Amino acid sequence: MSVDIRLASSRATGADFYHGENPGNIVTPGDIITANTGFMRGHGTYMEDECLHASVAGTVERVNKLISVRPLKTRYNGEIGDVVIGRVIEVAQRRWRVETHSRMDSVLMLSSVNLPGGELVSSNKSYLNDTHVCCM
C-alpha cells in the first residue's frame, strides 16, 4: 500500500498558486515555481506534471533560463581566499585533518604550511596536535 502525502499548495492547481520564477520569492517543498517549460531546472528543484517544483525551502534564484532554489539554512562552503578557523582532529604523516563545521572535514597538507620566519614544514613534528585550533 503506497501513501502519497503532499502539501495543500502542491495538490492545488491553477495559476493563482504559482509562485513565479521571479528571484527572491520564498518557496517551500512542493510549491510550484512555474509551469513554463522554457526554463532549465537547477539545484533545489524537480519536474512533475510539466511544472517546476521546489524540493527545499528557500528563495528562488534565476540566471537566464536556469531556475534554482537556494536553501534558507545550509552549511558553510568555503571558497578561495576565505579565512577559515578550524580544530585539528587528526595528525597524519603528510597532512592534518581539520574540523571546520562544513559538510566535509578539511585537509591541510604539510607542504602548504608556512611557519613563522618562513620555515616550511618538511616532516610531521609536533607543531600541532589534536587539541590545537588553527586559522587557515
**pLDDT tens digits, one per residue of 71-102:** 988 777 777 888 888 888 888 888 888 888 77
Domains of the chain: 8-71 (2.40.50.100), 85-135 (no CATH)
> What pLDDT, in 10s, does the model give residues 22-75?
667 889 999 999 888 888 989 999 999 889 999 999 999 988 889 999 998 877
Measure the N-to-C terminal CA separation of the chain; round to a whole number of Å: 53
For residue 30, give Cα distances in angstroms to 26, 50, 53, 82.
12, 13, 6, 35
Whole-prediction pTM value?
Answer: 0.50
